[in-house]
Structure 1
Amino acid sequence: MWSGPRNLSTAMMYSFAQRPDTEVWDEPFYAAYLKATGLDHPMGAEIQAAGERDPDAVINACTGAGPLGKSVFYQKHMTQHMIDGVDRSWVKRMTNVFLIRDPARVLASYDKKRGNPTLDDIGFRQQAELIDLVCEVDGRAPIVIDSADIREAPETMLRLLCQNLSIPFDPKMLSWPKGGNPQDGVWAPHWYGAVWNSTGFAGAEGPLPDVSEHLKHVLEQAQEIYDRIAPLKLKS
């Protein structure tokens, strides 16, 4: 599952974690990404200490079976972690889903948690590149799902997603216990507060938020990419 930040990605991981046939992995490349970029992220030292910092080792683990041996191995990946120099050829061997969200919502949310994001921070460019890669391999559009559609009709969209993945829908996916998930990354206390306090998908989103003037140039770039990807999304 590929998405940028602030994109319903944690809620989707929690949803799949409720399936008895599924094990989940939270952002496997985060530590390697911070080591390679030197970016100053909240809890950065803890993330690097807890995670695998060699991207090739992460790839080997991603392309193998999950440690619990369950039939579905759900990996929550952040597209911005696929920086130049990290091998992407392994993606061709995976079943890939792309989770998208309107860039105005992404930027307004991200700016509150880590200010002044760039286009590469929010992963839109990398997501488009990964979609193009999967299209080349499969010869057809990949699975794309919009977070707004999930929030508006969770069961309908999760059923449709499961159908496209050739796995059965499980009603357990619609809710989860409050308080987090044992598979959360060490960064969860900073980023996951809202989902920790939730027990299911929030309702439909309201009007688009205002984006700070200093981020309007990023919004324009991201919007162009989103508008190209959006026609590929699953429709109920």
Structure 2
Amino acid sequence: MWSGPRNLSTALMYAFAARGDCTVWDEPFYAAYLAATGIDHPMRAEIIAAHDPDPASVALACAAPTDQPLFYQKHMTVHMIPQFDRAFMRSLTNVFLIRHPARVVASYAKKREGPTLADIGFVQQADLFDEVCQWLGHAPLVIDSAEIRADPARALAGLCAALGISWTENMLHWPAGGHAADGVWAPHWYGAVHRSTGFEAAEGPFPVLSADYQRLSDQALPFYERLAAYRLRP
């Protein structure tokens, strides 16, 4: 599952974990991305110390089987930098999770001020989408977080059907307090989802953004709209 940050990605990981037949992995390449780029993120040192910073070994683990029938990987598009080998992706079913950039920018800025277009992942998501299209000869699956929030059962049942896996209502609920698979960064980023026991209600009007943040949202919008044209329709 490829998304930018603040895309409902953690809640969707929890939904798959709640199935009972699925191993989940939280942002496999985060430590490798930080180590390779030198970028300053909250808890940078702790992330690199606690998680594998070698992109080659992470890729091997992504392509390896687990002890469960399903293996859900929550990937951030910003982590898949050009120098990382993407060959492992060809052994996976790649799905793209999207969210309107106005909502992403508003949410991200609460956790890390001054985001740039590179930080929020829309350009990288479109590039990965195009690459997977070339491999497959057709568009991969795209699902919009707004449609999950509006009707989780319908949206997730549709996603499961498109993936050729069973649907279970277990995906609608999870225990509060986080998951054992959470990355070490969870205390900084996952406060709201840790308090949750299921998907929140449908989102309201778009947030009002400052001029700078509105420009950022406008820059990201064409990339969002390109993928949104392919999204699953519940």
Match of 1:28 in 2: 28
The structural deviation recorded for 1:119 is: 1.0
| Deviations, residues 111-137 of structure 1 (Å, cap 9, x unaligned) | 110011111111111110111111111
Structure 1 residues 1-236: aligned runs within 5 Å = 1-66=1-66, 69-236=67-234
User: RMSD of aligned C-alpha atoms?
Assistant: 0.9
| Paired residue secondary structure (1:226) | helix
Deviations 1:194-226 (A, max 9, x none): 000000000000000022222233222210111
Q: TM-score, normalised by structure 2?
A: 0.98
Q: How many residues align?
A: 234
Q: Deviations over 1:61-87 (max 9, x none)?
A: 001112xx1110000000000112111
State the secondary structure of the residue aligned to 2:13.
helix
State the identity %. Answer: 59
Runs (5+) with no aligned partner, structure 2: none
Report the TM-score when normalising by structure 1: 0.97
Aligned equivalents of 1:86, 1:210: Cα separation in 2: 37
